[in-house]
Chains A and B, each alone.
Chain A
Amino acid sequence: MNLLPKTAEYVERLLPRYPQKRSAMLMVLHAIQEEQGYISREAMEWTAQKLEVTPIQVYEVVTFYPMFRQAPIGRRHVKVCRTLSCALRGAYRVCDSLQENLACGLGQTSEDGNFTVEFVECVAACGSAPVVMVDDKIHENITPEKAPDFAAKLKTETTAAMPPSRH
């Protein structure tokens, strides 16, 4: 398993902090996903060995928590909150607009590999609904009216930066 030294060192520092190694499970999986974009079968086996559990015990965690994924996604992960407070302020229309402007179906990745658009459940920012998360950043008050400009900006910055593809 080829992890960057940075990630491997982080895991080594993390484990002794917990009274039981297995407790570090979610944190280790987050670190791997952050580096590799998703959690591969190999990564689950590596994690199992590190935490002294069986691979199935890692697999059952990966499949339980919505944030973990077992396949790569687009360069930018666009998550539109669909729960009540956001929906009342137009979240479904925001999502339509983002899909159209980013040329990306719901739950899919755009052909150029730049975007994955998904609905997610409440992200705890209901007072500034509708809310859209892009990667690890939250964007508030993205109304249906603002959505096309928001998408355009996202496109520009994504093409400008072009980080290594996870696709």
Chain B
Amino acid sequence: MPSERRIIYRHIDEPGYTTDLACYQRSGGYEVLRKSVLRKPEELVQEVKDAGLKGRGGAGFPCGMKWGFLDRKSGKPVYLICNADESEPGSYKDRQIIYKDPHQLIEGVVCSAFAIQAKLAFIYIRGEMFEGFRILERAIEEARVANFVGNNILGSGYSVDIIVHRGAGCYICGEETGLIESLEGKRGYPRIKPPYFPAVLGLYNCPTIVNNVETLCQVKHVLDMGGKEFAKIGVPADSGTHIWGLSGHVMRPGYYEIEAGKATVRDLLYDFAGGPPPGRSFKALIPGGSSMKILRFGEKFKVKLPDGSAGEWGVLDIPLDGASFMQCGTAMGTGGMIVMDDSADMVEALSNLNSFYAHESCGQCTPCREGSLWLKRITTRVCNGGGRLEDIDLVKNVADQIAGRTICAHGEAVAWPCQSNVPKFRDEWEAKIRAQMQAREHADENAPAVRKGMRLV
């Protein structure tokens, strides 16, 4: 049975481990920073490139390449923003770091800020994480007193301050350009790219890097072990470890840090998470945050195996790395996996998400603003007993007209759950709607009981 390999979560939930600086230093904290400020910033960027580190915020963009896009010629100040707006439904991995090991994040931020020579760093934290904000503020104060943050860090001549900035409940502010607008004190309307690539025209139209909490922590470990060593962890296409956060219908929901590609969905769901509730079987899973395309147990995927030969996987066979999920027509996203057993009504599950995305659309782009609302209305009506057979194709049709037609990826986030759920569970949609039609027809007689609402349980 595969086991966890805890790098980022090494001290999370360890008995006696606290958020204090002294505790962090007892386990080697800030030693990587001490080593790193003696090196050339370009060397550190190279290490991150060599590591093949991919961003952990959901899109999986190579971190070193992102840093490489920084516009150095403009002469404008460079900013680093840590995206701690963790708001993708199903994801709660960054919360653990912020609440239980804040200094690891701060060390990651300062090392990264030094590598890209940022003038100022921000941690944009979810507004709902009140306590996390206080923990980070306190930790930064401790780090400042110890000269790990602030002026002339450890005598290196490099200075950087970290401002912890609270969001106020908007999912869209997790999108990097929406976040930047929000940090400028405006509505979190994502910006159009081009020209607003953050690395060129970011915060205050200055070159800006936005990295996820876990990514910045990974950077610390890249610099600790060296990029080439780091790249040996995991599989060639996906280095390092992934934190899988399970929720929904499993016996042991929770977080598990596993070397990329070294275990399968089967290992994760059965060995780590204890399988489905008694008497139940798995029906569906959303790999990494609610926006990713849903997988149905029983599906088969034609894939290319690591040795280059053709093969076939079921859902349980999928190795836990980004590239493998891509081969199955979805993506691992943030690793916040939502699992559903055979008790879950898939129409209600989609309707639940449609309500979320309609609520969170910022309203800038017509396809997303109008489309997400219509999707919500249609699926809510189907849940409430007013379904029509043509609704099935209508949901798919509306979704198809949103994806790829918006400024930011919220369009895809709205569309993907619909585009995957409807064709994969068409039988359930039809059965549900036919039962409703029958109930409506026999409204006066002893109509068959029809489940209404979108309560899921």
Pick the residue among B77, B344, B356 that contacts A122 (CB under 8 A): B356
Most buried by B among A25, A60, A82, A126: A126
Please name all residues of chain A whose beta carbon is closer than 8 Å to the beta carbon of B184 when the two chains form the complex: 20, 22-23
Contact B359 A85 (CB under 8 A): no
Assembled-state Cα–Cα distance A60/B362 (Å): 12
Please name all residues of chain A whose beta carbon is closer than 8 Å to the beta carbon of B249 when the two chains form the complex: 88
- Comparing A1-9, A64-72, A99-107, A149-157, the segment that makes contact with chain B is A64-72
Contact A30 B168 (CB under 8 A): yes
Interface size on B, residues (CB 8 A): 61
Please name all residues of chain A whose beta carbon is closer than 8 Å to the beta carbon of B130 when the two chains form the complex: 136-137
Pick the residue among B77, B89, B95, B131 that contacts A84 (CB under 8 A): B89
Pick the residue among A26, A90, A120 that contacts B185 (CB under 8 A): A26
Which of chain B's residues 175-210 have a Cβ closer than 8 Å to chain A?
A: 182-188, 204
Cβ contacts B242-271/A at 8 Å (1 or 0 each): 000111110001110000000000000000
The answer to the question of B163 belonging to the interface, with a C-beta cut-off of 8 Å to chain A, is: yes
Pick the residue among A20, A123, A126, A137 that contacts B245 (CB under 8 A): A126
The answer to the question of A11 belonging to the interface, with a C-beta cut-off of 8 Å to chain B, is: no
Pick the residue among A66, A85, A90, A136 that contacts B338 (CB under 8 A): A85
Contact A27 B166 (CB under 8 A): yes
Contact B248 A85 (CB under 8 A): yes
Contact A88 B89 (CB under 8 A): no
The answer to the question of B21 belonging to the interface, with a C-beta cut-off of 8 Å to chain A, is: no
Please name all residues of chain B whose beta carbon is closer than 8 Å to the beta carbon of A49 when the two chains form the complex: none
Please name all residues of chain B whose beta carbon is closer than 8 Å to the beta carbon of A90 when the two chains form the complex: 457
Given known pairs A84-B290, A88-B249, the reply for A66 and B169 (CB within 8 Å) is yes
The answer to the question of B455 belonging to the interface, with a C-beta cut-off of 8 Å to chain A, is: yes
The answer to the question of B161 belonging to the interface, with a C-beta cut-off of 8 Å to chain A, is: yes
Given known pairs A83-B290, A84-B90, A90-B457, the reply for A136 and B131 (CB within 8 Å) is yes
Contact B170 A92 (CB under 8 A): no
Please name all residues of chain B whose beta carbon is closer than 8 Å to the beta carbon of A68 when the two chains form the complex: 168
Cβ contacts A89-125/B at 8 Å (1 or 0 each): 1101100000000000000000000000000111111
Chain B nearest Cβ from A38, distance in angstroms: 13
Assembled-state Cα–Cα distance A51/B94 (Å): 31
The answer to the question of A19 belonging to the interface, with a C-beta cut-off of 8 Å to chain B, is: yes
Give the total number of A-B pairs whose CB atoms are below 8 A apart: 160
Chain B nearest Cβ from A112, distance in angstroms: 25
Which of chain B's residues 57-96 have a Cβ closer than 8 Å to chain A?
A: 77, 86-92, 94-95
Q: How large is the interface on A (under 10, 10 to 19, 20 to 34, 35 or more residues)?
A: 35 or more
- Comparing B120-128, B224-232, B297-305, the segment that makes contact with chain A is B120-128
The answer to the question of B167 belonging to the interface, with a C-beta cut-off of 8 Å to chain A, is: yes
Please name all residues of chain A whose beta carbon is closer than 8 Å to the beta carbon of B340 when the two chains form the complex: 88
Cβ contacts A47-80/B at 8 Å (1 or 0 each): 0000101000100110011111000000000000
Please name all residues of chain A whose beta carbon is closer than 8 Å to the beta carbon of B171 when the two chains form the complex: 121-122
Contact B120 A19 (CB under 8 A): yes
Assembled-state Cα–Cα distance A67/B94 (Å): 21
The answer to the question of B102 belonging to the interface, with a C-beta cut-off of 8 Å to chain A, is: no
Contact B163 A127 (CB under 8 A): no
Please name all residues of chain B whose beta carbon is closer than 8 Å to the beta carbon of A18 when the two chains form the complex: 163
The answer to the question of B381 belonging to the interface, with a C-beta cut-off of 8 Å to chain A, is: no
Closest to B254 in A: A127
Can you list 20 A-B contacts with CB-CB less than 8 angstroms, sorted by A residue number?
A20-B184, A22-B184, A23-B165, A27-B166, A30-B127, A30-B168, A65-B169, A67-B128, A67-B169, A84-B290, A89-B457, A92-B455, A121-B171, A124-B95, A126-B89, A126-B92, A126-B245, A128-B253, A136-B131, A138-B131
The 4 closest A-B pairs by CB, nearest first: A25-B185, A136-B130, A65-B168, A126-B247
Given pairs A22-B184, A84-B456, A121-B89, 19 additional interface contacts (CB within 8 A) = A23-B185, A26-B182, A27-B166, A30-B166, A66-B169, A67-B128, A83-B290, A83-B356, A84-B338, A87-B457, A88-B349, A88-B456, A92-B457, A121-B360, A122-B88, A123-B126, A124-B95, A127-B247, A137-B131
